[in-house]
A and B are shown apart, each in its own frame.
Chain A
């Protein structure tokens, strides 16, 4: 350095600035956001409808990962090694994550500058991307033409004989038990836990399988391992299309919201929020509904959907009327204790 003339220094500085500028533009092109979701066929639809057009438009790449996992989010925040820029989240997980400070506030001036979304979808730490419901599914060929209509029928193994399938979790199953026991849908919370477990005692012996994943729900029904069970509403239409003898009932379903949120420490929060914005496009939303009946709140979406398809959506007025509104706050507060009780209850 000592032999360097001033001119050399100047040249070097210029070159450095040019290099830095080049580096910056190259960097801007190379940004790839990582979006975590639930995988499966939905991931393929999202890639076609949202990810590829977004990359073509903005030059920002999108890499998708799975599955949705709160423990993974926790681990990544705590080790400061955040892999995701955006992640799908369930309602109760959302509350847990907010409580623990694992999420970044959404900048709504990027995502929804014209204030088009209804307030329910615009939350401080997340955007509602879709609605779904946990409902009863049953084999149409196993009850001699009769069809179950309610949770009381699910419990009625005399009129509707055959093994049942439920999720391995107290979440929603306690509500279902109370509905079967005659509690009105709007009087469920706070849950009468004792009454719910007592009612569950009656069905436990008839539950052949306790599912943990979405793929299992329908596999159990298709394999005949269960003749009635709980499923997420979107899992059944593809089976019906294939001609499988299964159907769902909306009565007593658990209507829930699903979110997109930006984790704390995400490397490209701005780009992630730009990508979030594409979920506001009603045409893309309608396209996605062809593959997956989980509608969000994109303005004008419902008008774009044909009435036949609309009837299969959890937010169709007829369906909303018979479902109960799942309360994530209750479960965020009580999940840990009730899950332990649930696991112990299963052993006996």
Chain B
């Protein structure tokens, strides 16, 4: 009898702040001035939406892959430390994680600007004669997003890796496997649930990124979230904006379902022991 009461506050919050606005978004997207299908028609016919949608998917995918590539070795290293020292390394990862996304994004603007740290260093070192353009480039967007999301990758992977039995890799080595073979055939498969969980989180978070592409990429590198903002604030077209929000949500759901299908549920939550 008590259990339902315990989740009641959460359900109530969810109903008020998610379900109700969501129904409203559904309503707006199907009740435009041009009829119920105005939003959908716009989505199907707009080359602007098509290009930005593909760009957003590509961006989310590359950022996810870069974060996994950089985060995996780092997580291996942290998980390999004695438990007493792991805390220090985790704190180093968490420190930027706790810093506001806005602050971290602006800091990149200071580093990458025309008269910023990077250009000043390049010119001082004689590697460039005049300031190079780094701001408002795909490079800036990727750098900013990877730096913000890397802690998510590392923390998720460390969580899975510390749960593993180190004896299994050691056994492989004792039985004659090379370090590479022990990693490839024993360690890596065991961390697969962690990789999938991290990929899922990173991809979903990247899909909805707004501030970083807006500030570091500018209008030439808009994501779907930036386009929604443009629709609402500049074009006064809430129907198309709501329709896009639904597409973003649907894409997220498809991504989650796809990854869940790749790795069955029981393996996702540290079930690899």
Which residues on A are within 8 Å of B, measured CB to CB? Answer: 69-71, 74, 96, 163, 168-169, 208-210, 223-225, 335-336, 339-340, 343-344, 346-347
Contact = CB atoms under 8 A, between A and B. Distances in A.
Contacts of B48: 340, 343-344, 347
Interface string B216-227: 001110100001
Contacts of A344: 47-48, 51
A343 B219 contact: yes
B266 interface: no
B133 interface: yes
B46 A340 contact: yes
Nearest to B233: A71
Indicate the member of A74, A169, A343, A344 with the most B CB atoms within 10 Å.
A343
Interface residues of B, number: 25
Contact of A340 (B115, B222, B235): B235
> DSSP majority for the A interface?
helix
Given A208-B114, A340-B48, A346 B235 contact: no
Contacts of B135: 208-209, 225
Contacts of B115: 223-225
Contacts, number: 62
B241 to A, nearest CB: 10
Contacts of A74: 236
B52 interface: yes
Nearest to B240: A340
A336 B219 contact: no
Contacts of B218: 168, 209-210
Nearest to B232: A71
7 contacts: A224-B115, A225-B114, A225-B115, A335-B234, A343-B227, A346-B220, A347-B222
Given A69-B233, A210-B218, 13 more contacts: A169-B234, A208-B133, A208-B135, A209-B135, A223-B114, A335-B235, A336-B235, A336-B236, A336-B237, A339-B230, A339-B234, A340-B46, A343-B222
Interface of B: 46-48, 51-52, 55, 113-115, 133, 135-136, 218-220, 222, 227, 230, 232-238
B227 A163 contact: no
Contacts of B236: 70-71, 74, 96, 335-336
A244 B235 CA distance: 36
Contacts of A96: 236
Contacts of A343: 48, 219, 222, 227, 230
A224 B114 contact: yes
A59 to B, nearest CB: 37
B24 to A, nearest CB: 10
Nearest to A74: B236
Contacts of B220: 210, 346-347
B136 A347 contact: no
B114 A347 contact: no
A167 to B, nearest CB: 10
Contacts of B51: 344, 347
